[in-house]
Every structure is written in structure tokens, then in C-alpha cells.
């Protein structure tokens, strides 16, 4: 039996297995001088009484492991020149339209063997885990043909087994239109591929935007995916306002991603729905774009989660503290809102809120332990790493 305890001078966590909406996001539980009792990988108790005969680890600050509900892992290689071209004045769309951007990564992923793809991403996940991310979502979308999309899905499956993190796969063959094909022709192929991936993932995502898929093509995919019981997610209103958010809400999407350009009406519709707005401020930073209207969404009672969008183009970040820092700085979220959005609410997007995302009895023991830090430090000190990471009761010292 694996039995031990963590003594926290301060412990912050959201509570429960229901995501927090609107102002509820800012209501976190704060405990002082508390023991977290861990048995066989699960949290057994949260108590003021020192458990007898248990090994004890002390920490100034304990919080739940971060859950990153939107990344583009697995990718292969980087795109440093995209970054420099954008700084030089080219837009994300200019680069994409000239055959660069996503297409550059598609070429690299196609040319990589499955083993190389796994090796490259395993290294990234190891770095990210050390920073406190204990669960991550990853997407296909750099294959754009059946063979390479399935290769990415396979890589995600392997990564889930051999990395320390929980890895949740999403099928996103509708990430870009392959060169030489028409969007509607390719969308029909994506719909055919759904059957092949049904047993391997629960989520389907689509990039509905200028330069990718329009509302009509997106709607066709959403209908097909829903009929096959997939949960749907939509990259919506990121580059331009297309109306994708409203379309996604209409089809009961789990989440809309980015929503940088949503209108007042979109905000109202989203706030009244059960669709999450997944906010990713690092993308706005890298694309030099506006930030999502987080304050309005929260103040109007929307469901909000925070994620990195980790990818080699629009968000090359292996750094959760940077994402949280931007959320405080530019999304104007307070540290309690940020913590809930990056733990419980992110877990809820992935359908895992019963299992992870908070520190309470019955959930997996996924904890981050820091010394000489308080909650605010974690969002202010870019690059801070937990001193100890506990994943399903396993202890990793940094």
C-alpha cells in the first residue's frame, strides 16, 4: 500500500466536480496547516490531525496539478522563422496562404516516423510535467490525410502510456485544407475518417475561420460527429469573426476555442449556454492579436477554462506560469479565477472533473508543492517550477 501525507502551510483548491461559472470562478477554498492524506494514488482525506505512521512531506503551498485542455501536441520541429516573419509584419494568414505556417509542420510530421514523433513529444511532455502540468489534451491536425492523422493519434496513445501525464486525444483532421484540395472535398474525407477513430478518441475539433473551413463545411462535420456521439470542440472567431461560436453553441459543443473576436451578441449566447470558452492568451501574445473578452464572459456568467494552445506556430509555450501570467495581466482574471480555470474547469472540458482538478477525497492525488511561494507567486514569477509534483500518488522531485 502506498500511504503518505503532505502537510500544507497553505492549500488552495476549487471544490466539487461541477465546473464553476462566472463569478463562482473566483471563489476558491483556502486551507491553512492542513494534511492531505494520500493512499494508493488517491486523496483519502484532508485533515487538521496529523496522521500517525505516515511519511510526511512539508510544503509552503499546495495546489492541484494544472490541466491543459487545449494543445496541438504531437507536432514535430519548430517554426522559429514564422515568429520572426510575424514580428517583421506578416500576418498568421499571410504565412499560411503562402504555404507556410501549419503546412510547414504538416510536412515535418509526415516525414517523421511514429517513433521519432513520440520521442520528440515525450521530451516536451517531460519538460511540461516538471512545470506542473499533470494532464493535457493533444490533437491531430498535422497529418491532413488518413495515414498521418492516425499516426498522430497513435503517438498520443503511446504518450499517454509512457509519459507521466494523463493525455486526452482529440481528432482534428479539419485543421487546415491540404494543398491541392478544395475545403468541401476534404471535409467529406474528414467525415469518412470519423469511423476509423471512433474507438480511439471522444473529441472532434475543427478550425472554422478564414483560410480554413467555413460555417457550412463546419456544420456538416458537427452534424456527422454528433451523430456518432463525439463531443465537439470548435476553434472559433480566432482570426476573424465568422459566427463559428454561435454555430458551435447551436450544436451543443463542449467548448469554443480562442473566441478573440466574438461580438456582444456572441458573448451573451455563450454565457447562457453550457459551452465552455477556452481562453488561450499566449496565442494572442504570439500573434500580436487582441485578447479574448474574459472579463465580460466571466461577469456574464459564462463557463471559462484556460489553456496554452501549445503548438509550434501560434503558441510555442512550455510554460504554464507564462499562460497564467498573461491571464492575470491581459485577461484581467484574478489568481483565484485563473487557478480554477486551469484546474477544475479545464478538467471539466475534458470530461474529467470527477477524477482530477481539485484536492478532495476520492480524486486522484495530483498535487503541486512549492516552497517560498504563495498562490500569487505562481502567476507572477514566470518560470517558477513546483519543488515536488505528485501524480496519482507518485512523487517527483524537481
Binding site for ligand NIG (CB under 6 A): 72, 101-102, 105, 207, 235, 238, 283, 309, 311-314
Other CB atoms within 10 Å distance of the CB of residue 145: 16
Residue with Cβ nearer Fe ion (82 or 309): 309
Q: Number of residues in contact with Fe ion, rule: CB under 5 A?
A: 1
Residue with Cβ nearer ligand NIG (140 or 314): 314
Q: Are 35 and 41 in contact (CB under 8 A)?
A: no
Task: In angstroms, give the least distance from the CB of 384 to ligand NIG.
Answer: 25
- Taking CB positions, which residue lies at the least distance from Fe ion? 309
Q: Are 61 and 373 in contact (CB under 8 A)?
A: yes
From the list ligand NIG, Fe ion, none, which binds 218 (C-beta under 5 to 8 Å, kind-based)?
none
Residue with Cβ nearer Fe ion (22 or 211): 211
Per CB under 5 A, contacts with Fe ion among 298-317 are: 309
Cell of 120: 520528440
Task: In angstroms, give the least distance from the CB of 207 to Fe ion.
Answer: 8
- What is the distance between the alpha carbons of residues 90 and 84, in angstroms, rounded to a whole number? 9
Residue with Cβ nearer Fe ion (104 or 309): 309
Task: In angstroms, give the least distance from the CB of 309 to Fe ion.
Answer: 5
From the list Fe ion, ligand NIG, none, which binds 151 (C-beta under 5 to 8 Å, kind-based)?
none
Residue with Cβ nearer ligand NIG (19 or 312): 312
60: exposed, middle or buried (Cβ count in 10 Å: 0-12, 13-18, 19+): middle
From the list ligand NIG, Fe ion, none, which binds 245 (C-beta under 5 to 8 Å, kind-based)?
none
- Taking CB positions, which residue lies at the least distance from ligand NIG? 313
Task: In angstroms, give the least distance from the CB of 72 to ligand NIG.
Answer: 5
Q: Are 135 and 94 in contact (CB under 8 A)?
A: no
Within the chain, residue ranges assigned H as helices are: 80-87, 92-97, 102-111, 114-130, 146-162, 183-197, 215-227, 244-250, 264-271, 281-287, 294-299, 320-329, 335-341, 344-349, 375-380
Residue with Cβ nearer ligand NIG (287 or 368): 287
Per CB under 5 A, contacts with Fe ion among 31-70 are: none
Residue with Cβ nearer Fe ion (266 or 309): 309
Task: In angstroms, give the least distance from the CB of 209 to ligand NIG.
Answer: 7
Task: In angstroms, give the least distance from the CB of 322 to ligand NIG.
Answer: 16
Give the HSE-up count for residue 363: Cα atoms under 13 Å, Cβ half-sphere. 26
Task: In angstroms, give the least distance from the CB of 238 to ligand NIG.
Answer: 6
Q: Is residue 219 near Fe ion by the rule CB under 5 A?
A: no
- What is the distance between the alpha carbons of residues 3 and 110, in angstroms, rounded to a whole number? 45
Residue matched to cell numbers 490531525: 49
- What is the distance between the alpha carbons of residues 134 and 126, in angstroms, rounded to a whole number? 10
Cα-Cα-Cα-Cα torsion 325, 330, 336, 338, nearest 10 degrees, comes to -70
Burial code (b: 16+ CB inside 10 Å, e: under 16) for 269-279 equals: bbbebebbbbb
State the residues that interact with Fe ion by CB under 5 A: 309
Amino acid at each position: 500500500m502506498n500511504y503518505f501525507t503532505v502537510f500544507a502551510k497553505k492549500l488552495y483548491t476549487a471544490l466539487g466536480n461541477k465546473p464553476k461559472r462566472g463569478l463562482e470562478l473566483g471563489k476558491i477554498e483556502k486551507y491553512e496547516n492542513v494534511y492531505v492524506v494520500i493512499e494508493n494514488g488517491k486523496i483519502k482525506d484532508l485533515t487538521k490531525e496529523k496522521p500517525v505512521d505516515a511519511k510526511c512531506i512539508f510544503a509552503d503551498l499546495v495546489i492541484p496539478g494544472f490541466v491543459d485542455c487545449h494543445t496541438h501536441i504531437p507536432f514535430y520541429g519548430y517554426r522559429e522563422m514564422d515568429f520572426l516573419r510575424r514580428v517583421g509584419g506578416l500576418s498568421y494568414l499571410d504565412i499560411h496562404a503562402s504555404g507556410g505556417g501549419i503546412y510547414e509542420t504538416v510536412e515535418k510530421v509526415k516525414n517523421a516516423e511514429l517513433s521519432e514523433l513520440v520521442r520528440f513529444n515525450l521530451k516536451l511532455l517531460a519538460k511540461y510535467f516538471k512545470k506542473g502540468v499533470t494532464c493535457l489534451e493533444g490533437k491531430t491536425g498535422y497529418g491532413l490525410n488518413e495515414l498521418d492523422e492516425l499516426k498522430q493519434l497513435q503517438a498520443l496513445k503511446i504518450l499517454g502510456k509512457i509519459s507521466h501525464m494523463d493525455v486526452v486525444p482529440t481528432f482534428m483532421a479539419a485543421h487546415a485544407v491540404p494543398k491541392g484540395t478544395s475545403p468541401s472535398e476534404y471535409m467529406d474525407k474528414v467525415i469518412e475518417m470519423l469511423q476509423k477513430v471512433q474507438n480511439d478518441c471522444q473529441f472532434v475539433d475543427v478550425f472554422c475561420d478564414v483560410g480554413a473551413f467555413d460555417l457550412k463545411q463546419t456544420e456538416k462535420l458537427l452534424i456527422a460527429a454528433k451523430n456518432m456521439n463525439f463531443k465537439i470542440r470548435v476553434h472559433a472567431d480566432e482570426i476573424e469573426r465568422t459566427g463559428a461560436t454561435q454555430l458551435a453553441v447551436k450544436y451543443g459543443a463542449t467548448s469554443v476555442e480562442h473566441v478573440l473576436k466574438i461580438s456582444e451578441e456572441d458573448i451573451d449566447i455563450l454565457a447562457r449556454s453550457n459551452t465552455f470558452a477556452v481562453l488561450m492568451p499566449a496565442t494572442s501574445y504570439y500573434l500580436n492579436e487582441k485578447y479574448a473578452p474574459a472579463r465580460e464572459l466571466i461577469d456574464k456568467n459564462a463557463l471559462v477554462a484556460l489553456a496554452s494552445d501549445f503548438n509550434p506556430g501560434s503558441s510555442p509555450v512550455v510554460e504554464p506560469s507564462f499562460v497564467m501570467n498573461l491571464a492575470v495581466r491581459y485577461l484581467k482574471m484574478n489568481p483565484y479565477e485563473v487557478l480554477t480555470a486551469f484546474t477544475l474547469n479545464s478538467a471539466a472540458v475534458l470530461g474529467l472533473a470527477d477524477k482530477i482538478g481539485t484536492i478532495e477525497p476520492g480524486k486522484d492525488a495530483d498535487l503541486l508543492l512549492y516552497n517560498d511561494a504563495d498562490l500569487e507567486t505562481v502567476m507572477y514569477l514566470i518560470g517558477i517550477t513546483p519543488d515536488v509534483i505528485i501524480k496519482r500518488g507518485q512523487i517527483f522531485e524537481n
